[in-house]
Amino acid sequence: MKNFKIQEVRKLVKQLDPTAKVHARVLRIAQQDGYCATVMRDGKLIGMGWIFARQTLLRRQAVIEDMIVDAEWRRQGVATEVMQKLITWAKQQKIDVIELITNPKRVAANRFYRKTGFRLHKTNHYLLRL
């Protein structure tokens, strides 16, 4: 694992989704299947984001998930630092397009993604819970 503890990941994830449960095994699998960009300050995890590559019939794309910055560190450039690491990884993997989904009610996050260069793709996003 990286230089952070699972408790630190759990603390950040709770800020994104208070009902979420993060298990060490799942964290290890996610790290193996994708890339986790992290930002540390004074040995403490303050920001992170996950990106996973996939090949479709049309393109090589990646999906960003669970982009989180500790509430105490927001608006200090941490999200930009995480995003730059994710985009750099995607370029190294020869990714054609990066996608992400965020709740329209997350105004600051939506503003940040647009500022970073993401454009809203008009589509219906469906989920089937199994």
E strand or H helix at 84: helix 78-92
pLDDT for 43-75, tens place per residue? 899 999 999 999 999 999 999 988 999 999 999
Q: Which helix (H) or strand (E) holds 66?
A: strand 60-69
Cβ–Cβ contacts within 10 Å for residue 69, how many? 26
This prediction's pTM:
0.86
Q: What integer pLDDT is reported at residue 91 of this predicted model?
A: 96
Confidence (pLDDT) at 1: 42
| Confidence (pLDDT) at 87 | 97
